[in-house]
């Protein structure tokens, strides 16, 4: 079974600065998908960024980028130019590409606080 670990329960960043959230995972599969989801106080999970394991290039979405290290099974999220609206819970998630389904395995989450 796959596991996802987020070692930072809480992180804090000054507005306009850069912060990196860590995620490691354990799997014996070679092909899979990784995601970062944001959960604001409204509770709705919002997809921030996704990475296909077969792609070597790190995914980027505006101010959000990932550092995907497949051999190390590491998938960190970098948020540049942090904004007050970035304050939320962030979850790293894994999805197998072999599984004929959409089951996500989540990490425990990192609460990001943004200081004005």
Partner 1 sequence: KAGVTQTPRYLIKTRGQQVTLSCSPISGHRSVSWYQQTPGQGLQFLFEYFSETQRNKGNFPGRFSGRQFSNSRSEMNVSTLELGDSALYLCASSLVGPTNTEAFFGQGTRLTVV
Residues making contact with partner 1 (CB under 8 A): 33, 37, 42-47, 50, 52, 91, 95, 99-109
Please say which residue, 67 or 105, places its beta carbon nearer to partner 1.
Answer: 105
CB of 86 to partner 1, least distance (A): 18
CA 47 to each of CA 3, 38, 91, 94: distance values in angstroms, whole numbers, following the listed order: 19, 6, 10, 13
| Pair 38, 50: CB distance under 8 Å | no
- Which residues touch 70 (CB under 8 Å, ≥6 apart)? 53
CB of 18 to partner 1, least distance (A): 26
CB of 66 to partner 1, least distance (A): 15
């Amino acid at each position: 079974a796959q596991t996802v670990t987020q070692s930072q329960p809480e992180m804090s960043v000054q507005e306009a600065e850069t912060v990196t959230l860590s995620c490691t995972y354990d799997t014996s599969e070679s092909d899979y998908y990784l995601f970062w989801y944001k959960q604001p106080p409204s509770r709705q999970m919002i997809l921030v960024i996704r990475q296909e394991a077969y792609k070597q290039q790190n995914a980027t979405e505006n101010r959000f980028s990932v550092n995907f290290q497949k051999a190390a099974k590491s998938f960190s999220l970098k948020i540049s130019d942090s904004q007050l609206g970035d304050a939320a819970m962030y979850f790293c998630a894994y999805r197998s590409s072999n599984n004929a389904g959409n089951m996500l395995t989540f990490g425990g989450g990192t609460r990001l606080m943004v200081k004005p």
